[in-house]
Amino acid sequence: MTISAAPVLRRRMMDLTLEEHTLTVPLVWSDPADTRTIDVFATVVSREGGEDLPYLVFLQGGPGSEAPRAFHAPTSPSWLDQALTDYRVVMLDQRGTGRSTPVSDRILSRGSETVAEYLTHLRADAIVRDCEAMREHLGVERWNVLGQSFGGFTTLAYLSTDAASIDRAYLTGGLSTVTRTPDEVYALCYDKMRDASERYYRRFPEHRDRMRRLVDLAAAGEIVLPSGEVVSPSRLRSAGSSLGTDDGWQTLWQLLELDPSANAFAYDLAAAMPFGGRNPLYFVFHESSYANGHITDWSAQRVEPADFAEDVTLFTGEHIRREWTETVPAFQPWRDVALTLAQHEWPTIYDPDALASSDARGAASVYVNDAYVPVEYSLETAQLLPDLRLLVTSAHEHNGLRTGRVLEHLIDLAHDRRVR
């Protein structure tokens, strides 16, 4: 397989040096006869005086999201300043995102079957192969990995096949199950959202009636977004996914305080709902994240508990529904692709035996109230990785990497240092 590299571009931004690397790699790593290629893009970020520090490759959450762009530390992202104390950071755009041959609505002109087949090659196992190509391109034998959420899932896939390439692994809200089915995961996530809903209503009991009235408006087709979407009750309830973040309750509170006839309500509701048109992979591809040799078949919709159907004030999280391919303008063009992928039998990408023998070192943050990656299954996976230090905390929700000093704590744990 031929891998080619574009010339490296360098730029300065205040005290940061940014090196831009673009590789052309196979779309299908497992088939040398398949000649299709894609580009994979990464920015190596270093701070003055840290040009020779070890590499830390950042794997973003999602799926379907590009890596954040680095600005003058500590401005953006919030954890970058912490990371640059110990590492040069490789901001990798996972295949299909950012500047790594992005997937957009334009691809749909190829036909739904062709697009669905193409998307099957964008999973975590292929991202691992891209990482290995980038590591070799940078000329290092081993590097370090930071995986946030879906990026943590990808890190587990990395440790399943290429643990020898990783010095230390850091996972934040990304210690996924490697043995459970998608049905089990989404069922437990409903339990998490039930608890989050009840905690919210205990703080703001008057909002329960407001939510009930909003669901009635949605059922009558009277909530319309600026995009033209007529919001269904299930889409409205998905705004509760913000409860899975540290400050998400504020987003929900502000939304429910607004008059539903106001422009502000429509715009804020559109921003609060977890799936939109910016990253189509996030919707079309989401359930495959938990599929380790499974057919997903709209798992989250199939396992919805009876009380969620009866009590319309209970919020949902990352629970996608088939009906959205009919009701959401951004998803309608993707309908046939999504239906095809829902029936696809996804290959296995996580190997519990390989993880147990990987001797993986590092640290992981596990959030007690995580609405997206249940703590119970995270702790199961942690049993396979005895040298992975754990930070189990209720001080943060799923986005603790962005809102706290989580990474600093993990780096100290992984290096047996006192917490700074």
How much of the chain exceeds pLDDT 90, in percent?
93
pLDDT at 401: 93
Is the per-residue pLDDT at 59 higher than 80? yes
What does pLDDT average to over the chain? Answer: 95
146 bridge partner residues: 58, 170
pLDDT in tens, 329-379: 999 999 999 999 999 999 999 999 999 999 999 999 999 999 999 999 999
* CA gap 127, 152 in Å, rounded: 12
pLDDT at 2: 80
Amino acid at 220: A
pLDDT in tens, 5-45: 999 999 998 889 999 999 999 999 999 999 999 999 999 99
> All domains of the chain, ordered by start, with CATH?
4-178+350-414 (3.40.50.1820), 182-342 (no CATH)
Question: Is residue 74 reached through a cis peptide bond, with omega within 30 degrees of 0 on the bond before it?
Answer: yes
CB contact at 8 A, 370 and 246: no
* CA gap 288, 285 in Å, rounded: 6
pLDDT at 419: 57
Sign of the alpha-carbon torsion through 134, 279, 378, 416: positive
* CA gap 399, 347 in Å, rounded: 29
How much of the chain exceeds pLDDT 70, in percent?
98
pLDDT at 74: 60
287 bridge partner residues: none
Least confident of 65-69, 128-132, 181-185, 301-305: 65-69
pLDDT in tens, 254-288: 999 999 999 999 999 999 999 988 999 999 999 99
Question: In 10 A of CB 301, how many CB atoms?
Answer: 17
Is the per-residue pLDDT at 328 higher than 80? yes
Mean pLDDT of 403-407: 90
Is the per-residue pLDDT at 289 higher than 70? yes
- Does the pTM surpass 0.85? The reply is yes
Please choose, from the candidates 344, 329, 360, 353, the residue with its C-alpha nearest in 3D space to the C-alpha of residue 296. Answer: 344
* CA gap 94, 99 in Å, rounded: 9
Question: Phi/psi of residue 24, each to 5°?
Answer: -100, 120
The band of 73, judged by pLDDT with boundaries at 50, 70 and 90, is low
